[in-house]
Amino acid sequence: MKKETMKPIGDSAKEWMKRKSFRDAYNALEPEYAVVSALIEARVKANLSQKELAKRMKTTQPAIARMESGRQVPSGATLLKFAKATGTRLQIKFVVA
Q: What is the pLDDT along the chain (97 residues), one digit of tens a residue?
A: 566 676 676 677 778 878 888 777 777 766 777 888 889 999 999 999 999 999 999 999 999 999 998 889 899 999 999 999 999 999 988 888 7
Burial label for 76, CB within 10 Å (0-12, 13-18, 19+), is: exposed
pTM: 0.68
Q: Where are the extended beta strands (E) located within the chain?
A: none
Q: Residue 1: what pLDDT?
A: 57
The superfamily CATH assigns to domain 16-86 is lambda repressor-like DNA-binding domains (1.10.260.40)
